[in-house]
Structure 1
Amino acid sequence: MSATRDAVLDPSQISERLARELPAWHYEDGWIKRTFKTNSWKGTLMVINTVGHLAEAAWHHPDLTASYAWVEVRLTTHSAKGLTEKDMALARKIEEVVGWQPGLEGGALEGTPTDPRFAYIKYDK
């Protein structure tokens, strides 16, 4: 394991980095946290499964709390007993994938319809 990946980040710089790199996330009690709002239980499960896949692929495991229309993701590196670059990298990937809106890219993928019957996540933008 790389010492850099596992070095605990300086708490005084974490909030500044989050504001710059991951503005929807916040730092609290040694964790970075983000709540994704969804339109239904189906959307909640889709977010949970997406985060689960990314975390498993990265071999880094978040804590999740969920209800009907939201999912809270909490990241810390348990083995380092604090926040590390691993947490920041996984948060960026989660943000990228869960927040992906292909319809805004203008390509062949049109994205989900605006019809609420098909909506599953409430995007920040």
Structure 2
Amino acid sequence: MASEPLSQKEIEDRLRELPGWCFEDDRILRTYRLGGHRAAAALVVHISVVQDELNHHSDLTLGYDTVRLSVNSHDAGGRVTEKDFALAERVAALAPAHGAH
């Protein structure tokens, strides 16, 4: 069953609860800065575990000391759904333990 896309207002309301996240090109996005490459790589590994648990995967970009996530739902025609926010909330909760800001 396909996920239902959220309205622009629903997206804006949900983003107020996720500091640092934004909406752009039908995706929610966040870039985290970390203390170095190993810390950034460790965050990517931790995010990949969560994504597998949720069976919902973002585009992840690993930089030297940054991790960028970009997510929407393919089964909703590339629009943002509740699944995207569930993933974003889990990542927002685990990122500080990696020193991410």
Corresponding pairs, count? 100
Residue among 66, 74, 78 paired with 2:62:
66
TM-score between both structures, scaled by the size of structure 1: 0.74
SS at match of 1:99: helix
Larger CA Rg, structure 1 vs 2: 1
2:99 corresponds to 1:121: yes
SS at match of 1:86: helix
Aligned position for 1:116 = none
Contact 1:31 1:75 in 2 (8 A): yes
Q: Share of identical aligned residues, percent?
A: 31
Distance in 2 (CA, whole Å) between partners of 1:37 and 1:57 is 24
Q: Please give the residue correspondences for 1:33-52 in structure 2 after superposition, counting only pairs within 5 Å.
A: 33-52=29-48
Q: Please give the residue correspondences for 1:32-111 in structure 2 after superposition, counting only pairs within 5 Å.
A: 32-81=28-77, 82-100=79-97
Could you list the per-position Cα deviations for residues 76-118 of structure 1 after superposition, in whole angstroms to 9, with x for gaps in the alignment?
A: 0111121000001111011111224xxxxxxxxxxxxxxxxxx
Q: What is the root-mean-square deviation of aligned Cα atoms in Å?
A: 1.5
Distance in 2 (CA, whole Å) between partners of 1:17 and 1:73 is 17
Q: CA deviation at 1:69?
A: 0.7
Q: Please give the residue correspondences for 1:1-12 in structure 2 after superposition, counting only pairs within 5 Å.
A: 1=1, 6-12=3-9
Distance in 2 (CA, whole Å) between partners of 1:83 and 1:94 is 16
- In structure 1, stretches of 5+ residues that fail to align are 101-119
- In structure 2, stretches of 5+ residues that fail to align are none
Distance change >3 Å, CA 87–CA 122, structure 1 → 2: closer
Contact 1:36 1:121 in 2 (8 A): no
SS at match of 1:51: helix
